[in-house]
Chain A
Amino acid sequence: MNVDFIIPALLTIITASTPLVFAAIGEIVVEKSGVLNLGIEGMMIVGAIGAFAVAVTTGDPTLAILAGALSGMALAFIFGFLTLFLLSNQVATGLALTLFGIGFSALLGQNFVGKVFSGLPKLNIPGLSDLPGIGPLIFGQDVLVYLSVASAVLVTWFLSRTRWGLALRAVGENHNAAHSIGFSVTMIRLAAVLFGGAMAGLGGAYLSLAHTPLWVENMTAGRGWIALALVVFASWRPWRAFFGAYLFGGITIIQLHAQGFGVDVPSQILSMLPYLATIIVLVLISRDDTRARLNAPACLGRSFHASG
């Protein structure tokens, strides 16, 4: 077996993992503020069509990425308005958002099926990008991949090192206490929900602009739900979510490679592996009850009203 396939395999793993990184890190911020948004899948798919539609119409990748983020954000605003201002049930609203997003994206996408976009341009630094092995891996990615890494760094820094990050966490841990010391619980949560929507939108945009530069209905194929599981898997830590996404993407790609090499394991088991790994880790971390609780925001999923 030669090792020439390793670098290309790593490149494929990056493309398989990046959408999950965006969506999971966005959802961590949302959940840290005490809101449970189950509509990631819906926001991702709307982000995918929003980005693709703008990419095809204008041909401008930057506008397309912005459109992806804004589309996800627009859907998140509906969720935020319903749950934060009208105090609707977060679980039900989130599920409805996914259903709505899938249907709505199909409607928007009718005229974009079969259209072609050339894909996002890749970074090309003469000298560096051509280095054997690590060149294409480190210096030859598209802007969204770098953005996904940056988002893990920035969100970690924001949550743990900034005043507003502390406020956001306070709102998620005890919204009554945060309210009584003068934070606007609703506005902070709305900001978090919008950020989560933009990140899910970017995840979707990555799918329709870079991973498979095309639009087909339902193209997110359940990735939003995996991102949701990754948040728990990561016990609400951005870096763990980042590695979780790469673990998931990695196992997905490795099982395809194993099949290609004719490894004699039933392919159904190999297809199951990424999900199985996620469940096992979930079981392992939730065995330690106190630790799991330490990280889960105490007010997760609970509505807040100033009079309450």
Chain B
Amino acid sequence: MTATTAQTRPKRSLVSRIPLFEQVRSSIGLQRGMLIAGVVITGVFVLTAVFAPLLAPYGFAQLRSDGTPFGAQEAPNAEHLLGTTVGGYDVLSRVIWGAQTAILTIVVSVILSIFAGIFLGLVSGYIGGWLDRVLVVVCDAIYAFPSLLLAIVMSIVISGGRSDLFGGILAASISITVVFIPQYFRVIRAETVRIKSEAYVESAKVIGTRAPRIVFRHVLRNATRSLPLLLTLNSSEALLTLAGLGFLGFGIEPTAAAEWGYDLNKSLSDVTSGIWWTSLFPGLAIVLAVLGITLLGESLNDLADPRLRGRRAALDTGAPTPDNGAEPHGAGATGESIVADDASTADDEERVS
């Protein structure tokens, strides 16, 4: 690996610079399947949200077309492909519009939590001492707080429990933020503590670099390794909290936005009377969206870690050991470290494949 890059660093083609393309190419077997499934599901989810106005046959709050009401609890038919709800909305349109609400919640909650979490983690991990101890205890305390309860409190505070679009999104996002900040904090703090004792941070200190420069130039960029996984996991949790709020009746009014949790709630009584389409499709939407994001995050995490990444078995092509250009004696050193790395993780590899 190192040997070839040491000679000429091939310019990466335009195609390979598209995010995820490189990962898909370098993966094999089950890992590739998981990644592609994740990418496809998440892609469909995002596209649905973006193009909801074009895709949905009706508006999310539309009850009638051409002056005639849709009718309540209509079974799937040519006009309403997935039927209508007890309130007389078109199920397909509500499911499609719901993706938009879900994405908004994810974006708002991640933006609210990620910057604060990373900053606190860096400061706490790098400075240490009493500040670190206090922050860790506070974060532990927040962990003990059920996020759904917090979300309910938030939704009451923000809009008296009866939410419009932004009230509902904010309630879900803020409650999630409070729980997410400690997660980002934890991950970044642990990485910072590890990186703080790395030789390259010490060498920066010896040079006389000031602390802010060390933290942002040397620590931060090396500490963000596990963020993609956390990001995707948190996205799915944000989605679930929003749905949970809606299900409990603290969600967004159907006239303000489409929301899967609310639809599920309203379809509760339908289930016993044999009306399956009102609950099945919003439920499926939630499951698929969460599954897609989680698959994406998990497989990105596995692929980023050379110890968890599966590889094709080497074919003995009879090719000689790649020659190490500039320095024949030392260049092999990296070669062995690859080998040693593989050796130490043989068990992981077996587990994965």
The answer on A and B forming one complex is no
| Residues in A lying within 8 Å of B, measured CB to CB | none
